[in-house]
Amino acid sequence: KRGRASLETCAAVRRGSRWRTSSSSIAKTTCWAGSRRSLPSSCCPDKKIICVRTEDITISGGMVRQKAKYHRFLDKRHLTKPSRGPFHFKSPARMLWRTVRGMIPHKTPRGMAALERFKAYEGIPRPHDKTKRLVVPDALRVLRLQHGHKFCKLGDLSREVGWKHQDTIAELEERRKEKAKVYYQQKKKLLQLKAKAAAV
């Protein structure tokens, strides 16, 4: 089914008859429901999954509804000793990590190992900004969300509930995009020179 496809079948790159054992998934323009279904199934069969730009994940439903749901979650705590949990993460990467953890048998050795292979980040930190990134087609917003349906961004929800680094991440992303643009222009020129040399 469309929502059940694992990252192994829709985003991993195949080389000959062997799957690559590590992939970096870009979370921009992906839907929360689709990404959380695809990621756990791909963590278990010995694959390293790195999810970047988690602040741009789309959540179906308006901001008012999602904010009310999260505030109800904030009210859940240990009655006599809150330091025992549950712990309420406010950054987008940790929210996604906690959601994926709930879909993995994380208390078994196999589940612990799978969770260790999954990483999530806001923005695209080094060295992942220099690696090839993939998307999860079945989790794209244009495929998962009905036309005209309300949605909000995970980064905006995090800012509403107490995350303080959205502006910093946005600034760092602008710098990264400028550097990437310069690199791409140089790469295009080099490819054109190679094509001319091969044609002679």
Q: Each residue's pLDDT tens digit in the chain (200 positions)?
A: 333 333 333 333 222 323 334 456 666 666 666 665 667 666 666 788 999 999 999 999 999 999 999 999 999 999 999 999 899 999 999 999 999 999 999 999 999 999 999 999 999 999 999 888 888 888 888 888 888 999 999 999 999 999 999 999 999 999 999 999 999 999 999 999 999 999 87
**Residue 78: exposure state from Cβ atoms within 10 A (0-12, 13-18, ≥19):** exposed
- Amino acid type, 125: P
Buried-state track 145-163, b at ≥16 Cβ within 10 A, e below 16: beeeeebbbbbbbbbbbeb
Summarised one tens digit per residue, pLDDT across range 45-99 is: 678 899 999 999 999 999 999 999 999 999 999 999 999 989 999 999 999 999 9
User: Can you give the pTM of this predicted structure?
Assistant: 0.78
Comparing C-alpha atoms, which of 30, 20, 21, 37 is closest to residue 52? 30
The CA distance from 144 to 149, in Å, is: 11
- Per DSSP bridges, beta strands 151-153 and 118-120 are unpaired
- Give the CA angle between residues 162, 76, 80 to the nearest 5°: 115
- Per DSSP bridges, beta strands 133-134 and 58-60 are unpaired
